[in-house]
Structure 1
Amino acid sequence: MPSISKKGQLMPQSPIRKLAPFAEQAAKEGKTIYYLNIGQPDIKTPQVALDAVKIHSLEILAYTRSEGSEDYRRKIADYYLKNDIKVNHDDIIVTTGGSEALLFAFGSVMDVDDEIIIPEPFYANYNGFSTASGVKVVPVISKIEDNFALPPIEEFEKLITPKTKAILICNPGNPTGYLYSKEEIKKLAAIVKKHDLFLIADEVYREFVYDGDTHYSVMQELGLEDHAIMIDSVSKRYSMCGARIGCLVSKNKSVIQTALKFAQARLSPPTLAQIASEAALATPQRYFDNVIKEYVDRRNTLITELQKIDGVKVAKPKGAFYCIAELPVKNSDDFAQWLLEHFDVDGETIMVAPAGGFYSTPGVGLNQVRIAYVLKKESLIKAVNILKEALKVYKD
């Protein structure tokens, strides 16, 4: 029998999706499941985006340019300018989701066996992208006791080797909801300039910032033009996860020219989804104001309810719509599966994402889960009550 590649064997399962078969079985058994495992907002997609697809006048669903349509890229640049990010349309490559943008970035700036430093816990698919690219993740650990703040810069310096090519951050963070301050971005900028590295910033949750804080982009930092690569997406901003439209942004022309070759190899991003995404840029500010208010209420509800459970520790997020909770269990993978297979309260149970998959350090985060507060407050209260009752009876 032909053998599977070593790369394929090393590809990690998604902690967000790997329990899906158990959830499907639970649903078949008649259980109601509160899905806290995945960042799929229940907020309505802007009608202007949906209407653009419904009423389009295309007679041929043709390819677009590999870098995305020029009209769309110009409008993206206008959107960034409103956020004090000054880029041109030719600094932007439209991608099939933020995931493809990350793969293009990895392929453009790193070779096999090169290293990338990432504060952990981090978005679980960074592990997958690194494995697919043959790149080694070097983690610098942030801790729940510090609310997952940026580790001291000295910790980054200790990890830099001749193989190090980049530092990657998610701001605001998935899975922690941590928001990097302007001062922290400046510290990272200083270290990548000192060691001639790239700073890749996944900024797909830019709009989701709470408590009067503001988001500071790596693209706003002067002197970082040759080093900064920004990853973005429409998925969360406009509740358009299924559109699969993102972009890679950099003022480094060599990065853009190289990423374009990867874009040409996959031909072009999806045409109808670009039409919807371009139309979504006309979404009025009141849409975001209402969304932010809703997420703040949900966050506060979730954190308050979790803090009532004995033995549970939780970090308060300042952005995005996730939090990490530490539970009084030894292995959250086993616990999450048990919740779906063997536990319910009046026919209802919950699905969470075990947090071990958001780390690359073996054995870390095994007693943690990521919770996405993408459900209405009433559902979040019910879900946390189910968690509370489950912890009373669960045995490791």
Structure 2
Amino acid sequence: MDFLFLGMPKISSTGFLMPASPIRKLTPFAEKAKQEGKIVYHLNIGQPDIETPAGMIEAIKHIDFKIWAYTQSEGTPEYRSKLSEYYHNHGYHITPEDIIVTDGGSEALTIAISACIDYDEEIIVPEPFYANYNAFTCLAGVTVRPIRSYIENGFALPPIHEFEKLITKKTKAILICSPNNPTGYLYSRAELEALKKLVLEHDLFLIADEAYREFCYDGQEFVSPGHLDSLDNHFIMIDTVSKRYSACGARLGALITKNKDVHAAALKYAQARLAPPAVAQIAAIAAVDTPQSYFDKVINEYTERRNLLVASLNKMEGVFCSNPGGAFYVVAKLPIDDSDAFCEWLLDEFDYKNQTIMLAPATGFYSTPGAGKDEVRIAYVLNTNAIARAMECLEIALNVYPGRLLSTKDVHETIIH
């Protein structure tokens, strides 16, 4: 039988529209640079070099089960009970029954969006925001309505009247991240009280990504919507052990809600994927008992790194960076024509003393087309010596980059106006 070759099947429209990660898409260029013998300083991704608490590692070493079995879809009773103890110590009133353990914070976000928002409905997100929010909403067919925050005021929460302009009959939720990825901004109690009033008035869900809860600097207070009253049926918290315990590979997160309908819907999604990772839950039970001295040391280390990074950036001609209150990222404004092209050029064409740096172009952290073209996200996840060398590379790179734009005077005028 003769067959007529007509081509090949086409991928789905969702597969076509699925955005590439701005954090990981430059990996082939980084690998090529390493193969050429260059030292690459990875400031592009939130993978800390801080050691995981010893208790987590020891718990894994002492596992003695004979069958590596499924756990309950919502997570083991032992872990959920221990996790509720952790939340109680941080000012929340959360029971084990409020918790669904997930395969990382990413799955918690995906489930929350899918369980709460219908196809073609809308979610408002202050931008710049964690790049994968675009991916999670794409999977669910949900439309992101971005609301801009700006580097001039450190990426503070936009005014509430700007949120109100975006609310329509299709608006179902507001998604925030505090301390923020990618900006490091830490929302104040007053900002969260204003958001609370808004979501209650318009009957919206408030989804809070709290992956960086532990990382607040200069004595600033961390406030969660979960610390405010009257939000039980509106608030959904997203959590993860990845950053708290420098355990990104554990892939263990949680979705927390007191809304019984949301919990029931989210549990069905959890059942469909069967179970969260068993070994990670064993390790995470031990992690809850990590002493405060561990976090004190980590906070001091990140504060030192942040101070060095921000000072180094603001000394460079044409560069501006605000001082973040939390997380371990900054967004810096650079005198460049295209952050995507610049970050690729750093890996593909540039080196200084056989060294270069990997940054994340900020365009991927915006939903607004064209935003972030002169901004990059920098993760201060390396030690201060490495950061100092990386900043030396960046300053040299900016001086020789073919697409360099603006003088210092022009940049400051741009920021002021």
Which TM bucket (shorter chain)?
over 0.9
Q: 1:248 aligns with which of 247, 255, 261?
A: 255
Partner of 1:193: 200
Count of equivalent residues: 396
Which of 73, 98, 107 is matched with 2:105 structurally?
98
Which one-letter code corresponds to 1:293 in the other structure?
N
AA in 2 matched with 1:277: A
Distance in 2 (CA, whole Å) between partners of 1:312 and 1:11 is: 32
Give the secondary structure class of the aligned counterpart of 2:64: coil
Shift of 1:214: 1.1
**What runs of 5+ residues in structure 2 fail to find an aligned partner?**
1-7, 404-417
1:146 aligned residue: 153
CA-CA distance at 1:217 after TM superposition: 1.0
CA distance in 2, matches of 1:141, 1:342: 33
The equivalent of 1:265 in structure 2 is 272
Distance 2:289 2:158 in 1: 38
Instruction: Please report the TM-score for the alignment, with normalisation by the length of structure 1.
Output: 1.00
Q: 1:115 aligns with which of 122, 128, 131?
A: 122
Query: What residue in structure 1 maps to residue 67 of structure 2?
Result: 60
Aligned residue in 1 for 2:50: 43
Say yes or no: does 1:216 pair with 2:223.
yes
- Supply the distance in 2 between the matched residues of 1:249 and 1:220 (Cα, whole angstroms): 13
Percent identity reads 58
SS, match of residue 315 in structure 2: coil
Q: What is the correspondence of 1:168-179 to structure 2 with a 5 Å cutoff?
A: 168-179=175-186
Q: Distance in 2 between matches of 1:277 and 1:125?
A: 24
- Which runs of 5 or more residues in structure 1 are unaligned? none
Greater Rg over alpha carbons, structure: 2
Q: Where do residues 26-41 of structure 1 align in structure 2 (5 Å cutoff)? A: 26-41=33-48
CA distance in structure 2 between the partners assigned to 1:132 and 1:326 by the alignment = 31
Letter in 1 for 2:60: V
How far apart, in 1, do the equivalents of 2:220 and 2:328 lie? 15
CA shift, 1:146, in A, is: 1.2
Alignment match of 1:7 (pick from 4, 11, 14): 14
- Give the residue type in structure 2 aligned to 1:95: T
- SS class of match (1:387): helix
Query: 1:342 and 2:349 equivalent?
Result: yes
**CA positional deviation for 1:189:** 0.5
Q: Residue 331 of structure 1 is aligned with which of 335, 338, 357? A: 338
Q: Could you list the per-position Cα deviations for residues 108-158 of structure 1 after superposition, in whole angstroms to 9, with x for gaps in the alignment?
A: 100110100000000000000010110000001000011100010000000
1:282 positional shift: 1.1
- Cα distance in 1, alignment partners of residues 314 and 159 from structure 2: 28
Q: Distance in 2 between matches of 1:202 and 1:227?
A: 14
Within the alignment, does 1:203 sit opposite 2:210 as a pair? Answer: yes
Q: Which residue of 2 aligns with 1:239?
A: 246
2:61 maps to a residue whose letter is: K
Distance 2:178 2:58 in 1: 31
Q: By how many angstroms is 1:86 displaced?
A: 0.7
Please state if 1:162 is matched with 2:190.
no
SS in structure 2 of the partner of residue 307 of structure 1: helix
Aligned to 2:4: none
After superposition, the C-alpha distances for 1:346-376 in whole angstroms (9 at most, x for unaligned) are 1100000000000000001111000000010
Are 1:78 and 2:85 matched, yes or no?
A: yes
- Residue of 358, 368, 385 corresponding to 2:375: 368
Compute the displacement of 1:14 (Å): 0.4
Q: Deviations over 1:28-82 (max 9, x none)?
A: 0100000000000000000110111111111000000000001100111010000
